[in-house]
Structure 1
Amino acid sequence: MTELHLWLRHEIRSTERRTPIVPSDARRLVENGVKVTVEESPQRIFPVEEYEKAGCRIAKAGSWRSAPGAAVVVGLKELPDEPSELINRHVFFGHAYKQQPGAAALLRRFAAGGGALYDVEYLVDEDGRRLAAFGYWAGYLGAALAVLQHQGRLAAPLVPTTKEELDARLPAEGFTALVIGALGRSGRGACEAFRVAGIEPTRWDLAETRELDRPALLAHDVMVNAVLATTPVPPFLREEDLDDPARRLRTLCDVTCDVGSPLNVLPVYDRTTDWTAPARRLREKPPLDLIAIDNLPSLLPRESSTDFSAALLPQLLEFGTGGAWVRCLGRFQQACREVGIEEGEFRRV
């Protein structure tokens, strides 16, 4: 059996502090016969020396481009625009299966090089439940930032912190909050952050969104969306809702950040916000502020990385062999067909 070689890449996004594999789990991989190469990274929350002590080989940032073809490149967020041909198997969040901007181009890069995308969002069990996710911390931070923004206490630029430091800033009172998707990972995280803040949120999930009560939605001061739609559903907010004179809603946080996708349940904005400018004004009278940051868990990089890595570790130990990876590869091939890539173009994987 060929030795599994995992290559942990540096993240090109300057605000990305997380890692999908923490040093303690890298050590377990090495102890189980996996070769692990870790790229140097100036912003990763765990210093590269901890990986070296765990038995990993160290490489220069960005050197995955010349990694052996059999190496499996592991990361989190987007790849750089080059090379145009991707020869390796990659494990990361590709955001390429729902007609997002740039999705077809990314898939064609894999087809051109003979590589494959194992999108972690689609690494699921037999019932379709995700096996490794940052959802809880995304929801927690989304609600936390919404609380701070609504209270006029959200300072920019955002900087990574610890849960203890964040929680000390959260206590609030005097407003109502709504969490949509409250039963999922992200929704549970959002509800917990509101609890820490001293706010008992209204909790909606499938039952409450089948026939949406828009007046009830707009009657809340703060709303957090934690729903990631996989099939078309009527939008939760429309442009005309923002101009409703009865709207009480003042702060909106979209944890999902599905902007650009036809499945977006909040088609009232066209671009995300970021650490430099975390909130954007959608309406002036009455005011409505949007928070839509697509790497929220990176604000709690140590906690979120540790949880994610623990969930991903058993899957990595079975890379390519377990049913979850087979399903993951099948979803990549389906996405390729959907953008017109012929079967033979990605058969090398």
Structure 2
Amino acid sequence: MIRIGLIREGKIPSDNRVALTPAQCKWIHKNSGDVQIVVQSSPQRCFTDKEYRQAGVEVKEDVNDCDILFGIKEVPVSMLIPGKTYLFFSHTRKKQPYNQALFRAMMNHQITLIDYECLEHEDGQRIIGFGFFAGVVGAHNGMMAWGKRSGAYDLVRVCEQKSFHELIHTYFGLRIPAIKIVVTGSGRVAHGILEIMNLMGVHEVEPDEYLQRQYTYPVYTQLKGGDLYQHRSSGAYNRAHFHEQPEEYTGKFLPYARETDVLMNGIYWDKNIPRLFEAQDIRESSFRIQTIADITDDAHGSVPINLGDQTIADPVYGVDRRTLQKTAPYLPGSIDVMAVGNLPNELPRDASRYFGEQLIKYILEDLVKRNGSGVIQRATMLDKGKLTPHFDYLSDYAGV
């Protein structure tokens, strides 16, 4: 019997999402005789202890007897249980300095770490994640911010709705003026953004038409890799080569900045990938963008005027076009930026249900049977406290 524990989230601010819902735990118990789910009691979780107990799941404080522990956000060092196998988003694969102490503590505690972010299909596509609902919430918040700046309409807060279904009903009768919106990316985040664009009645147009025409109704265009980057010498774009040698490419986004009111950013970024634009570009009078929803939320990343996270309670700030300093939102002479690191927390039950479905479908069986799955091996950053070969590049970060 394999015992899986759903741990209480300890990071501040607290996260209320879960890896498996009560109904999913009940399904696992019914369909897998060799797995038992245990839930660590939590007052913050979007599904209550009572809901898990009603689904036949044991709820208790001590999960030391579990073999595998599922979390969502980083586990505080003080809450780590030595020798266990953990699955959570560690935010260490890019050598994030703020989690270096956590990574080294896991090594000292001989922990096996399987990072959700590293669970990928053979072609490199992420298997599980909250990206779709990050896109949904981020797109809504971006449109909410533009409505507040323009005074054209007033959208409700997502976090005040009980479900995605309830949120959709708030769009009935919504009239959006003839604005132009760019959506960047092609993954789960972008799919969530597109869902909101379509629900709000924003029409899709091709990138070339978007640059050449003005419209009497709201439109968006989706920009993928080849629309955003080109090789410095050949001018071409090859996806595989771009991901191997991104420093050989340059960005080609600026023409869109001159034709866009709202930017919905859903692209992956790391330090070697060109930014969409440079911070000083916003000083130009031709830079038309007024609202940016930086849903992938890399501070000073693909959106260089992302000056850091806001909160769900206060998701938007301004950036002064002249000084590039943070201001209050919606001021003349500023650009509004929506940047929040835990957007799916605004729809936690829907987001958790979606996440758990993917976890059950693609990961759980291989994890429990320990059958040497390549997917799980490639996502295992630490094996009993030791760096695995796939993550040798972290040796300096890990201090080995």
Q: TM-score range by the shorter chain?
A: 0.7 to 0.9
Q: Deviations over 1:278-331 (max 9, x none)?
A: 101112543311111111112112221111101101312221432211111158
Residue correspondence of structure 1 range 101-112 to structure 2 within 5 A: 101-112=97-108
RMSD: 2.4
Residue correspondence of structure 1 range 307-318 to structure 2 within 5 A: 307-314=354-361, 315-318=363-366
- Corresponding residue for 1:38? 39
How many Å separate the matches in 2 of 1:7 and 1:281? 42
* Residue 11 to residue 83, structure 1, CA distance change in 2 (3 Å): closer
Q: TM-score, normalised by structure 2?
A: 0.76
Verify: 1:207 aligned to 2:226, yes or no. Answer: yes
1:122–1:130: 8 Å Cα contact kept in structure 2?
Answer: yes
Verify: 1:297 aligned to 2:344, yes or no. Answer: yes
- Corresponding residue for 1:266? 303
AA in 2 matched with 1:294: G
Verify: 1:186 aligned to 2:189, yes or no. Answer: yes
2:18–2:352: 8 Å Cα contact kept in structure 1?
Answer: yes
* Residue 151 to residue 250, structure 1, CA distance change in 2 (3 Å): same
2:312–2:343: 8 Å Cα contact kept in structure 1?
Answer: no
Post-superposition shift, 1:159? Answer: 4.0
- Corresponding residue for 1:282? 319
AA in 1 matched with 2:43: P
How many Å separate the matches in 1 of 2:56 and 2:157? 39
SS of the residue corresponding to residue 215 of structure 1 reads helix
1:147–1:172: 8 Å Cα contact kept in structure 2?
Answer: no
Post-superposition shift, 1:105? Answer: 1.3
- Corresponding residue for 2:266? 226
Bigger CA radius of gyration: 2
Verify: 1:27 aligned to 2:74, yes or no. Answer: no
**Structure 2, gaps ≥5 residues long:** 149-153, 204-219, 231-251, 321-330
- Corresponding residue for 1:197? 200
Q: Deviations over 1:193-222 (max 9, x none)?
A: 012112231110011111413032242111
2:113–2:381: 8 Å Cα contact kept in structure 1?
Answer: no
How many Å separate the matches in 2 of 1:340 and 1:297? 30
Residue 180 of structure 2, aligned match among 176, 179, 186: 176
Post-superposition shift, 1:226? Answer: 0.6
Deviates more, 1:166-175 or 1:133-142: 166-175
How many Å separate the matches in 1 of 2:375 and 2:26? 23
2:130–2:344: 8 Å Cα contact kept in structure 1?
Answer: yes
AA in 2 matched with 1:339: Y
AA in 2 matched with 1:273: Q
SS of the residue corresponding to residue 360 of structure 2 reads helix
- Corresponding residue for 2:6? 8
* Residue 4 to residue 292, structure 1, CA distance change in 2 (3 Å): same
- Corresponding residue for 1:346? none
Post-superposition shift, 1:157? Answer: 10
How many Å separate the matches in 2 of 1:87 and 1:318? 20
* Count of aligned pairs between the two proteins: 331
Verify: 1:337 aligned to 2:395, yes or no. Answer: yes
Post-superposition shift, 1:143? Answer: 0.7
* Residue 297 to residue 92, structure 1, CA distance change in 2 (3 Å): same
SS of the residue corresponding to residue 124 of structure 1 reads coil
* Residue 163 to residue 238, structure 1, CA distance change in 2 (3 Å): same
How many Å separate the matches in 2 of 1:108 and 1:160? 40
Post-superposition shift, 1:155? Answer: 6.5
1:97–1:103: 8 Å Cα contact kept in structure 2?
Answer: no
- Corresponding residue for 1:244? 284
